[in-house]
Structure formats: structure tokens, C-alpha cells
Amino acid sequence: SIIEISDTEKIYLHYDDSLTKVIFIQYFNEDTDHLGEFHPKNNLLD
């Protein structure tokens, strides 16, 4: 799923196969073309 912070900033949530856990999170800034990745610990969002 995509979370829009502003017109140029977005966060992408990537789920596992069961769609219950977030495997990793990507942050993208269109102004700077910066793409960051965050890998949360397992079961963080349970």
C-alpha cells in the first residue's frame, strides 16, 4: 500500500504473502529522487 506524505513524498509498505506483516518499507522523495528502505523486525506490526 502507498501512503502519501505530500505531493512529492511517498511511503510504500510491502507485505508478506499473508498480507499481515510488513516485510519492508520504502520511502521515496520525488524532489531528490531519494529512495530509502527500512526493514522492520519480524512481527513488528502484529
Please indicate, yes or no, if residue 27 is contained in any of the structural domains.
yes
pLDDT tens digits, 1-46: 899 999 999 999 999 899 988 888 999 999 999 999 887 765 544 4
Does pTM surpass 0.85? no
Give the total number of structural domains in the chain: 1
* Domain limits for position 19: 2-38
pLDDT at residue 23, as a whole number: 87
Please indicate, yes or no, if residue 43 is contained in any of the structural domains.
no
Q: What is the DSSP letter of 31?
A: T
Please indicate, yes or no, if residue 19 is contained in any of the structural domains.
yes
Rounded to whole angstroms, how far apart are CA atoms 46 and 32? 33
The b/e string for 2-41 (b: 16+ C-beta within 10 A; e otherwise) is: eeeeeeeeeeeeeeeeeeeebeeeeebeeeeeeeeeeeee
